[in-house]
Amino acid sequence: MSNKFVFEEKEKFLHKLEEVVKSGVSAKDIEIFTPYPVHEAEEVLKLKTSPLRFFTLLGALSGLIFGFLFTIGTSIDWPLIRGGKPIVAIPAFIIVAFELTVLFGGVISFIGFLILSKLPDVKRIIDPEEYGNQFIILIAKEGRK
């Protein structure tokens, strides 16, 4: 069982969240649901920065490097002069490198998200309660004082 607080307004929700944290409840025992990202809540809960960004960085850099290596490699392997341009024509390869940066960054971020969230986990995906536009604070029973 847990203690539940329901709010219609963000300010009231944040105020209560601050109160709960100040009362000594550990951030681990607090679960929040918001209709949109509320960055202030992260600040109140003093959550550690997620290592997800390193997955994104790794993906983006690998996409960028692969984009250039792929285009340069295939051009050198099968050299065809097009429109009087050099075989290794960097301005044209930037587009491929950029697209692969975004693609790899996105896909590896998603994979990183699944790993960090320990997903797929059907029990955790399906939440029997739907909160709509409300702001919710759930405190695990052990966390209550």
Partner 1 sequence: MNKLQFKPVGLMIISVLIAIVILLIEVFLTGSKDGSFLLTLSFWITLVQGTVAVAAAADVSQGKWAEPLKKELFAFYPLILFTAVIYLILSFHMDIYKWTAKPGRWLNPSFFIIRNFFLILLTFVLAHFYIRASLRGSKSKGVLAVLYIFAFVASQSFVAFDWIMSLEFPWMSTMFGPIFFMESFYAGLALGGIIAAYFIVRKIGETSAITKVLRDMATFMFGFALAWAGLYYGQFLVIWYGNIPWETSYFGIRMNHGPFNILLYLIIFILFIIPFVTFIPKKIKVSPAWVSFISVLVLIGILLERIFYILPVVPVNVIAVVIEFVVIGFLFVLFFVNRNQIIKSPA
Binding site for partner 1 (CB under 8 A): 83-85, 91-92, 94-95
* Shortest distance (Å) from residue 87 CB to partner 1: 15
Please say which residue, 37 or 128, places its beta carbon nearer to partner 1: 37
**C-alpha 98 chain-centroid distance:** 20
Cα–Cα distance, 18 to 53 (Å, whole number): 27
Please say which residue, 52 or 94, places its beta carbon nearer to partner 1: 94
* Shortest distance (Å) from residue 6 CB to partner 1: 24
* Shortest distance (Å) from residue 118 CB to partner 1: 25
Rg of the chain taking only CA atoms, in angstroms: 24
Q: Which is it for the CA torsion 136, 140, 143, 145, positive or negative?
A: positive
Q: Where are the beta strands (DSSP E) in the chain?
A: 2-7, 30-33, 135-140
Please say which residue, 6 or 95, places its beta carbon nearer to partner 1: 95
